[in-house]
């Protein structure tokens, strides 16, 4: 009898508001090029702490917003500015303000 494959999921519990990802790690988790992450910052989708990419620190909320923005951009075929606006509007509808 063949056993089904085992899927290993690795997770890290984060406190809301904690700054825990540096720029390279954030891009790895987001599965995107650094240039795309810079665009997300430029359009206000994410708001890292720090003076520039080499000093940026990201929160878990930034990862959520970036993933949502990229998904909206892909699924609705809208540009990054439109996706940024959509993320902000969705958060307002849900009653959440970072």
Q: What share of the chain is helix, strand, coil (3-state, %, to 5)?
A: 50, 10, 45
* 3 token code pair: 């056993």
Please name each of the domains of the chain with its CATH number. Answer: 20-94 (1.10.1660.10)
Identify the helix (H) or strand (E) that includes residue 30.
Answer: helix 23-30
For residues 71 and 69, give the distance between their C-alpha atoms in angstroms, rounded to a whole number. 5
For residues 58 and 78, give the distance between their C-alpha atoms in angstroms, rounded to a whole number. 24
Q: What is the pTM of this model?
A: 0.75
**pLDDT of the chain, 98 residues: tens digit per residue:** 677 777 665 555 556 556 688 999 999 999 999 999 999 999 999 999 998 899 999 988 899 999 999 999 999 999 999 999 999 999 888 886 55
* 14 token code pair: 């984060």
For residues 38 and 30, give the distance between their C-alpha atoms in angstroms, rounded to a whole number. 12
- In the numeric block, the tokens 């917003």 are attached to 65
């Amino acid at each position: 009898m063949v056993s089904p494959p085992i899927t290993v999921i690795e997770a890290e519990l984060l406190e809301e508001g904690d700054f825990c990802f540096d720029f390279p790690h954030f891009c790895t988790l987001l599965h995107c090029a650094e240039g795309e992450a810079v665009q997300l910052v430029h359009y206000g989708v994410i708001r890292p702490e720090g003076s520039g990419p080499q000093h940026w620190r990201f929160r878990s909320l930034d990862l959520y917003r970036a993933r949502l923005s990229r998904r909206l951009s892909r699924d609705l075929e809208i540009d990054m500015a439109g996706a940024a606006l959509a993320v902000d509007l969705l958060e307002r509808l849900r009653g959440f303000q970072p």
